[in-house]
Structures are given as C-alpha cells and as structure tokens.
Chains A and B, each alone.
Chain A
Amino acid sequence: MAGPIVIAENLVKRFDKLTAVDGVSFTIEEGWIYGFLGPNGAGKSTTISMLSTYLDPTAGDAVIDGFSVAREANRVKRIIGFVPQDIALYPTLTAAQNLKFYGKMYGMRGPGLDNRCREMLELVELWDRRDDRVETFSGGMKRRINMAAGLLHHPRFLLLDEPTVGVDPQSREHIFETIFKIRESGTTILYTTHYMEEVELLCDYIAIVDKGKMIAQGTLKQLLAMLGEGGVIELEVAPPGCPAELVDRISRESGVTGVKHENEQLLVSSSNAAHSLPPVMRVLEEQGCEVSSLEIYSPNLERLFIHLTGKELRE
C-alpha cells in the first residue's frame, strides 16, 4: 500500500435541524475498495457528496490526495471521479455523445477523448451500443454508462454511490467485474451500498454507518470478530431480564467471547458455538430459565448490524 489517499476528519453536515452526517472520520488507503455500508438515510450519500465537493461540510474536512475538499475543491475535482446514485446522463443523447460531453468537461479533446471513450465503452461492454440513445438502454446498461462517465478522466479516487440499485443480477455481475477491473488499474474506490453481500464480496475495508454516525469499521474479518469468530448462539429465555449473575456465569464458560441480553433475548458469541452450547444450556437450567427458542448462526454483517443497532440493515 502506498499510503492514505483520503483522510476524513470529523465530517459534519447539517440541513437546518437535521444532522445527516455527525462527526465521521476515516482513512482510505490507496488501492482499496472502501465500503460504506448502512441503511437508507444513514448518511452515506451525504458523506460521498461532501467528498465529491458537491456539498460543503458544515464542520470537519477531508483531504484527498493532499487537497482539502473544503478549501481546494477545484483541485479535488480533478482527482476524483463521481458516479452518482441517479442515472446522471442525457437520455436523448447516445452513449458516445454522453461520454464525450463529460470528457470535455474535464478538458479532454480530440483523438485522446475518442480513444478514452472507446476504452470506457469497451470496459463496460457497450461499445457496440455506442450510437444508441441512452433512453433505449436497460437499467443495468444505463448504470454501466453512468459508471463509465465517471471514469473517463482517469480519476485516482472513484466515488461509487449505490451503483447497483435497481439492476438485474446479470447487470450487477457486470458492474462487479467492472469494479474489479477499475481497482486493477490502480484506482481507489469508495463504494456505498446497503447490500451487505456487496461489501463482503468487493471491499477491502468496511465502514458501517447509521444515523449519520460511523458505528464500526475494519476489515470484514475484524468486523465479524466483534460477533465471535466461531458463531453466535441466540436464545429466547423466560423469565425476561436475566440476572447479572447468569450473564457473568455464561461469560466464564469455555469459548464464550461475549454475552449480550435484552429482555427475553440472549446473544452469546463464541469461538466455537457448538462447543459452547452445552455448558450455556446447563447454566440456564441451573438458574431456572426456560429456553423457548434457540438459533446458532455464523457471524455476518447483517447480524453485526443488528448487534450494533438493534435493527435490521434494510429497515
């Protein structure tokens, strides 16, 4: 790794009384695909809008390749590529006309622009449709052209805001392939999504955001370790409200790495859930607790999100 290309410190964005982003800090190393995972309204798009210079931060700053988004927006604009969540294309123009127009906005001209348009159309596998109006394309094809338009000027840092929203599985695969190719070319990517399987597949480093705050970040392995590497035992016990003594006793059992309880729900993280289950059940029995349901599952981001926020990712 060549060092960080993005350093965001305490980014805040307020709209009147609403705080959309509340003190978010993170660092993105060059060459990473950095995932921003969170439900709708978590502040992902607002954060990406500040990094893209579309919105000015209310407080805090981010430095991209040495330039401040708050003070040196014009320098930042030349470094970044932005692929918005909306299909920001002109539907009555052809794919090639759209790309050439956006290329010109970055000062590209002549054969250089023509060649780059061809490269990008080939990258997103739409060269044979270059002279067709964008309005005739499927949703997935539009998203691919939308992505190509953000890559024309060789950005060092690419911001992808939910690029797979509303596309069919085949187009999603196309988009994933394209993203891997972009990374291979050395471009660093910030990828926002509310699909956990996408960040699991694509991202080197993941930040989980909710209600404008970053609630966890790390590699996938580091994040899942928060739940227990060997799995989680989820139980519903009666009577509700476990005594502190019970939690303490379970915590001391073999392999148990964490215990969390709320009302009737008891979550036991373990380095080996199957191994830890019998002693946990024995303790519950000794304490006179009745188990009404039991589930053992492998840790994943969806469970982690529930673990951290008490709600599902797609709520």
Chain B
Amino acid sequence: MNPRKLFDIALKDLLVVGKDRGSWILLLITPLAIIMVASFALGPAFSGQLKSELLVTNHDPGQAAAELVSRLGGMEGLSVVTAGDEETTSLTIGDERYKAGLVIPADFTARVMSGQDTKLLVYVDPTDNVNRPFMVGMIDGIASRMSGIVASVRVAVEEVQKFAPQTDVNAVVADAVPMATKQMSANPPVDTEISNATGLQEVNMFDTQVPGYSVMFLLFGVMLGAEMLLEERDKGTLGRLMVAPVSRSSILGGKLVAQFVIAMAQMTILFSVGHFVFGMNLGNSLPGLVLIIAVTAFTATAGGLLLASVVRTRRQATSLGTLIVILMSALGGSWWPLSIVPGFMLVIGHFTINAWALDGINALIIKGQGFSAILIPAGVLFIYGAVCFAIGLKMFRFRGA
C-alpha cells in the first residue's frame, strides 16, 4: 500500500463529492430539512406545550357542572372550548382542532348533589389513538374525584343524621360539597410530585431528532459511497486505476478514507447546526461524542463497502441500500425512541447500527452521562464495523461482470 497514492485517491473522491450538488442535497440539506420539519411538528406535543382542545356542551347551569368545567380547564395540556349544542359537538370531533367532546346533562348538579348516579357523555375520535386515552382519562379522573368528594360528604352527613335525625341530608351535602372540594384542592390528602429521574434532564425536540436523523442520513451517505464505488467500476475509472502502478489496497483504502471523512464531516455539520442553530444539547463529554460519532462513521463506511460487495449493479445498491437504511432507521430508533417499542423489537433493533449509535449518543446528550457510558456501544459498533469490513474486503469485485 502506498499512503501517498491512497491519500491522492481519497482527495480525488472528496473533490468529486464536493462538486456534486446531488451529494450535498442528500448528505446535508435533506437531513436538515427533515430534522426541522420533524422537530417543529412534533416538538410541542413532546414538550407538553401543545394543548388539546376539549369541546364542552353544558346543559346544566348548576354548581357541579361549573366546577367540572373549571377543573377541566385547569388541567395541564388541556384547553376547554364551549359549544352551543350537542350535535355540533358530535359533528366537530375528528377534525384537526378538537380532540374530544363532553356533554354535561341538565340534571348533572342535582343528581350529583343528591348522590344519584349520573352520566357524562364523551365524544371521541376512534382513529385518534394518541389523544383519545388522554382526554378520556382526564375527564374520567376529574369526574371520579368529584364523585369521591360527594360520596364521602354524603356518607359523613348520613352518619351525622344518625345522631341528629332532623338533619336535611341533601341541603347539608349541597353546602358541604363546595367546601370539601375547596379543601381538597387546597390541601389534597394524596398529592403527586414530579421529579426527573437521576441524571435525566429536560430535552428539546432537537436533542432526539438531530442524532436520529443524522445517523439515518449518515447511512444514506455511505450508500451513496457504495454507488460511487460501483460507478467507478462500471465507467472504467477503477479499471484504469487497476492498470496503473497502484495497489488494490491503496485504491480501496483511499475510497474508504474519503467515505469516512465525508461521514465525519456530515455528522459534525449536522450536530453543529443542531447545537448552534437549534440549541441542541451536546452532553457533558465532547470526547465521548466525537468517539461515538467516529466509530459510527467507521461502521457505516464498512457497511457501505459490504453493500458494494454483495450487489452486482448500482441499481441494486440503490434499491437494497434504501431498504436497509429505512429498515435500520425504523428498527434502530432513528424515527422514534426505542423506549416505546415492545421488548422483542428492542432486541431486533439492536442488530442495527442506528440503535447502538443512538444508545451512545443519547447516553451523553439525553441522560447526561460521561465518557464511560459510550464504551459499550462504541465497542459493539467497532466489532460490527470490523466484521463488515473484513467481509467487504474479501468479497469486493474490482472487475465488473
């Protein structure tokens, strides 16, 4: 191997990619555009800033109904809008704005205060599996709490009536419920305190989106590298190099070095834009971040060589490469966090480059862990890359069919 010629080949490849607008679009512009779209679209929902709107038709002018509406309006992430009639409520649910509708019957207060059963009618969008459980849970929770207060007050008053038979239970209940409600709101006997788990910190959407999509487009980038390698073979430039006094290891080495440099530059630019433009957190260990990115770039480069080795044509490289990148991204957590997938999918996901890369990156950026946290993911990725590299080197055909 001649390092100088290897360097010249790498430099030439960098020049070729640098002059190709299509490469710039695939490597940088597309991932940045997708990161921005995904972050701005999903950011409010994931950060809790997005309020789901509840359309309420209240037929009851009474105190309990007013209390119910007031409590719903005070819930985090929920906004109450009053509707005139039940039909409008029913018809409007399912459009882009209202996530659920609530109809409070005219005798709601009277029945609640007298301890009689009553029903709230909730209209939901059966196709909305994200908001429906949240809205129903909110309404159910508040209704249950109100029922609990009324029931406990009624039980207390009925106990009092045993010693003071002249007591008007309904009147006392009607007076006591608002007081009990106020008391429970001011000083609830069972309250919850929300705290971040150890080491975890608040994240913005870019903290998850930038790494996920960067790894995905890193893989698309090396797929492009595999296509370029095959293009050189098809168009005869690789053949011309083979009849020049250049070793095959210098030829392939130069091309892989160029691909690695492109991958590193791509990740560096995407993370820099994420940090300086969108405020993405880079974690507490910059050396750790650089190492996990470098190992990911190495593994992806080796994967690209393997791809170029197993296919016969550029078309096959594009088709198979796209399939692999998309599957790896979906399985490996580039599109959604692996914490939400079932256990067996988590196992399958860890056959991908994405999962191990994101395990390492997320440990630094999201969990705020230190350098040692990336050692296992980096080690697995390195072994993964070394295996791909060895197979790719063995199988690559310098000559076309």
Partner of A88, one of B8, B15, B20, B240: B240
A133's closest neighbor in chain B, by CB?
Answer: B19
Beyond A92-B16, A92-B19, A93-B19, whether A105 also contacts B246 by CB under 8 A is yes
Beyond A54-B399, A101-B8, A105-B241, whether A88 also contacts B236 by CB under 8 A is yes
Interface centre among A55, A74, A101 (most CB of B within 10 A): A101
A80's closest neighbor in chain B, by CB?
Answer: B243
A90 and B240 within 8 A (CB): no
Partner of B240, one of A107, A133, A149: A149
A97 interface residue per 8 A CB criterion: yes
A86 interface residue per 8 A CB criterion: yes
A77 and B243 within 8 A (CB): yes
B239 interface residue per 8 A CB criterion: yes
Bound state CA distance, A222 and B274, in angstroms? 76
A82 interface residue per 8 A CB criterion: yes
Q: Give the residues in chain A near B245, CB-CB below 8 Å.
A: 74, 77-78, 105-107
Interface centre among B16, B239, B242, B245 (most CB of A within 10 A): B245
Bound state CA distance, A104 and B244, in angstroms? 10
Beyond A104-B8, A105-B246, A106-B244, whether A84 also contacts B236 by CB under 8 A is yes
Bound state CA distance, A21 and B377, in angstroms? 53
How many residues in A have their beta carbons less than 8 Å from beta carbons of B?
Answer: 27
Q: Is the interface of A mostly helix, strand, loop or mixed?
A: loop
Bound state CA distance, A38 and B131, in angstroms? 75
A105 and B399 within 8 A (CB): no
Beyond A92-B16, A93-B16, whether A104 also contacts B237 by CB under 8 A is no
B15 and A82 within 8 A (CB): no
Q: Give the residues in chain B near A78, CB-CB below 8 Å.
A: 245
B338 to chain A, nearest CB (A): 40
A52 interface residue per 8 A CB criterion: yes
B5 and A104 within 8 A (CB): yes
B162 interface residue per 8 A CB criterion: no
B394 interface residue per 8 A CB criterion: no
Per-residue contact bits, chain A 120-133, to B (CB 8 Å; 1 contact, 0 not): 00000000000001
Interface centre among B5, B239, B243, B246 (most CB of A within 10 A): B243
B398's closest neighbor in chain A, by CB?
Answer: A54
A89 interface residue per 8 A CB criterion: yes
Per the 8 Å Cβ criterion, residues 90-112 of A in contact with B are 90, 92-93, 97, 101-102, 104-107
A2 to chain B, nearest CB (A): 24
Bound state CA distance, A80 and B245, in angstroms? 10
Q: Give the residues in chain B near A82, CB-CB below 8 Å.
A: 240, 243
Bound state CA distance, A52 and B241, in angstroms? 11
Per-residue contact bits, chain B 170-185, to A (CB 8 Å; 1 contact, 0 not): 0000000000000000
The 10 lowest CB-CB distance pairs between A and B, nearest first, are A86-B236, A88-B236, A88-B240, A105-B244, A92-B19, A77-B245, A52-B243, A104-B8, A82-B243, A88-B237
20 A-B residue pairings within 8 Å (CB atoms): A54-B242, A55-B399, A77-B245, A78-B245, A84-B240, A86-B236, A87-B235, A89-B237, A90-B16, A90-B237, A92-B16, A92-B20, A101-B12, A102-B244, A104-B8, A105-B245, A106-B244, A107-B245, A133-B19, A149-B240
> Given contacts A74-B245, A88-B240, could you give 10 more A-B pairs where the C-beta distance is less than 8 Å?
A54-B243, A82-B243, A87-B235, A88-B235, A89-B237, A90-B16, A92-B20, A102-B244, A105-B5, A105-B244
